[in-house]
Amino acid sequence: MPRYRIALMPGDGIGPDVMDAAQIVLDQIALDAEYLPADIGWSFWCCEGEALPQRTLDTLQTCDCALFAAVTSKPKEEAEADLAPELRGQGCVYRSPIVRLRQHFDLYVNLRPCKAFPGNPLNLRDDIDLVVFRENTQGLYAGVEFHPLPEEVRAALAAASPGMAAFAGTPSADIALSCRIFTREGCRRIVRSAFEYAQRHGYPTVTLVEKPNVLRETSGLMVREARQIAADYPEIKLWETNVDAMAMWLVKNPQDYGVLVSSNMFGDIISDLAAQLVGGLGFASSGNIGDAFAVFEPTHGSAPKYAGQYNVNPTAMLLAVKLMLDWLGERERAAALEAAIAAVIAEGKVRTYDLGGDNSTLEMAQAVAARI
């Protein structure tokens, strides 16, 4: 029996293109694994009313981890319009399948390395080496949202918070509410993961990116917990920043930062910013990691207009494979893959269009495979 069971979820848009690239590299690496294809994405929403079918959850349950490429998401009205006619009006609700996977498997760490590979013409600078730890299950992604505002929620809020007085004259039908929910344990585990990583990889700082001067309770809880955890790591400095200032500092002096830790939505935003410093989403990979299961993905979306053309940069997907190998404990293979990616970028002979070249997705993956 192979050592690992790994689910492959290509999804849609350019998802299958980059998953084919991943397969080229996995074959070259000869990982002792069985690969199980699993359905996910827009086509399953359209014909089944479910973008993440139960059979996929069942398959994932039997695997060590999964690779996910990309899926298309659309706002509420468009999602309803794309449903097969017999499914419309049946109460099907579209929720992003990747967000659901994170919550279903309690993948509370979103690990997003943004490292400049020398020779990448898209780098802001060549000495950037950032890793974002984004809380991945709570905050504004908790899914506790209302519109219109139910009367019982309104009454409870009015009784509990003076801030609600400002909305007293607005009809409930005209109020939308999204709750930002943090738990102490949620804060603790993401901050601890960031410190553990910093310690293991020799980063001198962990920067907490929040907004406690305004979001006094949620960001405040995270800051208080972070200070306590930091005390367990005397050799690592905890820097506290506000998310708005951080956006500016990251553009100004990205080389000064190492490990960043943030809540779900701020981490989502700041990790896109960090990705652009090192070439954009074509170079940004992401690990959704829990205690017993993990899903690895490129951070980019499904770019439907490029679907099936095999011209997008596969680097983000290949770096996701590298993160997976690390997580599986296959450190030598992971290091060899990263070195091969770095070599192909440094050499600059095989380049996809974003890098100013005209090579295909698969040619770039083959060049990487040849260097392993």
- Positions touching ligand IPM (CB under 6 A) are 73, 96, 98-99, 268, 299
By beta-carbon proximity to ligand IPM, the closer residue of 73 and 359 is 73
Question: In the complex, what is the shortest distance from the CB of residue 295 to ligand IPM, in angstroms, rounded to a whole number?
Answer: 11
Q: How many CA atoms lie within 13 A of 236 on its CB side?
A: 30
CA distance 179 to 199: 33
Q: Which residue is nearest to Mg ion (CB)?
A: 268
Helix ranges (DSSP H) in the chain: 15-29, 42-48, 54-61, 76-82, 97-104, 151-160, 184-201, 218-230, 243-252, 264-277, 315-328, 331-347, 361-371
Tokens standing for residue 205: 């700082």
By beta-carbon proximity to Mg ion, the closer residue of 53 and 301 is 301
CA distance 272 to 48: 32
Task: Choose among ligand IPM, Mg ion, none what residue 302 binds, the Cβ cut-off being 5 to 8 Å by kind.
Answer: none
Task: Choose among Mg ion, ligand IPM, none what residue 198 binds, the Cβ cut-off being 5 to 8 Å by kind.
Answer: none
The secondary element (H helix, E strand) that includes residue 113 is strand 109-115
Task: Choose among Mg ion, ligand IPM, none what residue 96 binds, the Cβ cut-off being 5 to 8 Å by kind.
Answer: ligand IPM
CA distance 264 to 151: 28
- The window from 31-39, 212-220, 260-268, 359-367 that contacts Mg ion (CB under 5 A) reads 260-268
Under 8 Å between Cβ of 105 and 132: no
**Contacts of 214 by beta carbon, 8 Å cutoff, 6+ apart:** none
Q: Which amino acid is at 291?
A: D
Q: Which residue is nearest to ligand IPM (CB)?
A: 96
DSSP 318-329: HHHHHHHHHHHT
By beta-carbon proximity to Mg ion, the closer residue of 102 and 322 is 102
Helices (H) then strands (E): counts for the chain: 13, 12
By beta-carbon proximity to ligand IPM, the closer residue of 242 and 286 is 286
Backbone φ and ψ for 169, nearest 5 degrees, come out as -90, 0
Tokens standing for residue 36: 């199980």
Question: In the complex, what is the shortest distance from the CB of residue 19 to Mg ion, in angstroms, rounded to a whole number?
Answer: 19
**Could you say whether residue 297 binds Mg ion (CB under 5 A)?**
no
**Could you say whether residue 135 binds Mg ion (CB under 5 A)?**
no
Question: In the complex, what is the shortest distance from the CB of residue 354 to ligand IPM, in angstroms, rounded to a whole number?
Answer: 19
* Rounded CA Rg of the chain: 21
Question: In the complex, what is the shortest distance from the CB of residue 98 to ligand IPM, in angstroms, rounded to a whole number?
Answer: 6
By beta-carbon proximity to Mg ion, the closer residue of 268 and 326 is 268
Question: In the complex, what is the shortest distance from the CB of residue 95 to ligand IPM, in angstroms, rounded to a whole number?
Answer: 9
Question: In the complex, what is the shortest distance from the CB of residue 268 to Mg ion, in angstroms, rounded to a whole number?
Answer: 4
User: How many C-beta neighbours within 10 Å does residue 338 have?
Assistant: 21
By beta-carbon proximity to ligand IPM, the closer residue of 13 and 254 is 13
**Contacts to Mg ion from residues 222-241, by CB under 5 A:** none
Task: Choose among Mg ion, ligand IPM, none what residue 73 binds, the Cβ cut-off being 5 to 8 Å by kind.
Answer: ligand IPM
Residue from 210, 268, 326, 330 touching Mg ion (CB under 5 A): that is 268
By beta-carbon proximity to ligand IPM, the closer residue of 68 and 197 is 68
By beta-carbon proximity to ligand IPM, the closer residue of 118 and 143 is 143
Binding site for Mg ion (CB under 5 A): 268
